[in-house]
Amino acid sequence: MDSTLPSGPAVHIEGLDKHYGSFHALRKINLSVDRGEKIVICGPSGSGKSTLIRCINRLEQHDGGRIAVLGTELNDDVGNIDGIGREVGMVFQHFNLFPHMTVLENCMIAPVIVRKRPRAEAETTARRFLEKVRIPEQAMKFPSQLSGGQQQRVAIARALCMQPQIMLFDEPTSTLDPEMIAEVLDVMVTLASEGMTMICVTHEMGFARRVADRVIFMDAGEIVEEAPPEAFFTSSRNERTRQFLSQVLGH
Amino acid sequence: MEIVVVAPPAPGRLEDLKRRFFATPLQTLLSLISLTIMALIVWKLLDWAVFSAVFTTTGGPEACQAAAGACWSVIAARWRIILFGLYPFEEQWRSALACVSVVVMTVLSCMPAFWTGRRIALVWGAGTGLYYVLMKGGVLGLPYVGEEAWGGLALTLFIFVTTCLIGFPLAICLALLRRSDLPWISRTTGLIIDGVRSLPLISILFTFAVVLPFALPQWLQGDKLYRVILGSALFFSAYQAEIVRGGMQGVPAGQEEAAMALGMSYWQRIGRILLPQAMRNALPATINQFVISFKETSLVVIVGFFEILASGNAAYGTGEWRFAYVEVYAFIAFIYFVFVFSLSRYGAYLERRMAVGER
């Protein structure tokens, strides 16, 4: 997409290890995500899915192996991390909107103070993305005045305003009511159809089937299975995967 | 068939009163007794403070002593000592102007329109600068007046405002250092905060005023007044740091993560995301701390400064007005009340203002 960046995979992970004290959260993870590819990561709670994507934008620091994002390796070089952080957007389970700012300010702050864009330009961009997530009329409200689904769509718009190359979704619908899940997933489907590179931790298997290029199943800090959605849902060989699928699809 | 629900008629104010205070004979009796007592107290107070009081200085102290009520003449005769302390009589207009400049500075910095770095710096620089030049003199044809002669309300306001101006930023620094990831920084800061908090303010003031000069070289000492202000700012910041830290703990961890994920730097996260929310959480306790600090300025008398309370003592302490101490203290209490009450109302205004966007 962007000719100034080196080609190659969007994210390349090799032998990734992560411990929390004595707890081994990620074990020798290998994963490569191409530009424009959509990955869905699922697995039981505590399996390391969130930790994995939080390592990609450095909210967690890995303690073994290598991660390269857009061709740049993540290490302790601060400038390096800042540069990469701007290219990776993230949407959280609990939205994490800034409650003391309006919806519009939430979307403008990072472009203005991080990317040093003029305010007028940042506002135009913000309004364009609010339009895209279908809540342009809420721009002047505060987050607390919106429903959960609307807040999550603002959070998506806020991340998009930085015009990232990669979007990470950390269980974006798991705290929402069913009718709001649909409105958030719709926005994510649109985003996918426009060619965004997306890595989504989610249990929305319908979404995975429709959008994902690959589905990854994790358990106990390992990638257990990795397959295109059709194969994943119909012919997975692994016992743990089948058990998990029967639990999430069972009802 | 349609069912019409009629709400019971709302009781009028009179019926409400009747129901609450005059429902049974015993209640009626108790209510009447309390009313009588209250009326008596109010009447006595009014009689003392207004009807039987002496307001003019023409009769001197003797006319006052003969009267049954309050002797406000003492205020009329001695208000200059109360407000300006030992400041030279002919120059007291400077002290009055200095008070005004500090009050204006405080009011301006309370207004949201001045909450940008440049404006607030300008207001504070101009306010304290003007105060200093007016009080100290020695330039622009103003005769020199040393800090030891400053006193009264002018001194109280100056100590309070400078304590807050130095103490507040220091408190934020201490709070940030205390939540540092590096244990040796956070532990050392914790030790400093807890150390300062475990000492009485009086001992800190005494140390800074009297003991410090023995430990510091001459050129680093500065005037006793500024050492005392530093001591009181340090004390203020130790308490305020814990208030700010409490406010920070009330901000969910997700807020900083979201800011990090958007690529914000440490100072951007602190300045734009963490502190605004932390200060909102900490506001009631912060106003509380300001109020306490304002009243604690009276402790500087221990190291020889005549702030407003000590000046009040001096106002009635000399000879002929010795009997009128109640009136002097009532007047000083009124001044304290005006400042502290405005502070509390301002806090309430801020809370309403910040309630916008509350979760």
Q: What's the pLDDT tens digit per position in A196-223?
A: 999 999 989 999 999 999 999 999 999 9
Asked which of A34-43, A143-152, B120-129, B248-257 is least confident by mean pLDDT, the reply is B120-129
Q: Provide, rounded to the nearest whole percent, the portion of chain B with pLDDT above 70.
A: 95
Partners of residue A96 in chain B, C-beta under 8 Å: 252, 254-255, 257-258
Over residues B314-359, the pLDDT tens digits come to 777 777 777 777 878 888 899 889 989 988 898 888 888 877 655 4
CATH code of domain B75-354: 1.10.3720.10
Q: Is a pLDDT exceeding 60 seen at residue B17?
A: yes
Confidence grade of residue A251 (pLDDT, cut at 50, 70, 90) = low
Is the per-residue pLDDT at A4 higher than 50? no
Report the pLDDT averaged over residues B197-205.
90
What would the two tokens of residue B297 be? 């300025």
Which B-chain residues 246-275 have CB contacts (< 8 A) with chain A?
Answer: 252, 254-255, 257-265, 268, 272-273
CB atoms within 10 A of CB B50: 12
Does residue B63 surpass a pLDDT of 90? no
The shortest C-alpha distance from A98 to chain B (Å) reads 7
Q: Is the pLDDT of residue B215 over 60?
A: yes
Residue A199, helix vs strand vs coil? strand
Distance CA A56, CA A38 (A): 15
Both tokens assigned to B197: 């908090």
At residue A75, does pLDDT exceed 60?
yes
Q: Which of B254, B263, B358 is the closest to A85 by Cβ?
A: B263
Task: Using a CB–CB cutoff of 8 Å, tell me whether B356 touches chain A.
Answer: yes
Residues of A in contact with B262 (CB under 8 A): 85, 89, 109-110, 114, 158-159, 162
Lowest mean pLDDT among A129-143, B3-17, B91-105: B3-17
Q: What is the pLDDT of residue B88?
A: 78
Average pLDDT score over chain B: 84
Q: Which of B252, B261, B276 minimises the CB distance to A57? A: B261
B22 falls in which pLDDT band (50, 70, 90)?
Answer: confident
Report ipTM for this prediction.
0.90
For residue range B143-165, list pLDDT tens digits in order: 787 777 787 888 888 899 899 88
What does the pLDDT read at residue A2?
44
Tell whether the model's pLDDT for residue B47 goes beyond 70: yes
A76: Cβ contacts below 8 Å, ≥ 6 apart: none
Rounded Cα gap, residues A10 and A5, in angstroms: 10
pLDDT band at A78 (very low <50, low <70, confident <90, very high): low
Q: Provide the residue ranges of all domains of chain B, joining segments of one domain with +.
A: 75-354
Which tokens go with B146?
A: 């040393």
Selection from B169, B186, B168 nearest residue B177 by Cα: B186
Burial zone of A49 (CB within 10 Å; 0-12 exposed, 13-18 middle, 19+ buried): buried
CA distances (Å), origin B11, targets A110, B118, B186: 56, 56, 60
**DSSP-derived 3-state class of residue B310:** helix
| Confidence bin at A236 (pLDDT 50/70/90) | confident
Does A156 score more than 50 pLDDT?
yes
Selected residue with higher pLDDT from A29 and B61: A29
- Residue B158's nearest CA partner among B67, B258, B225 is B225
Record: contact A100-B359, CB cut-off 8 A: no
Q: How many CA within 13 A on the CB side of residue A245?
A: 23
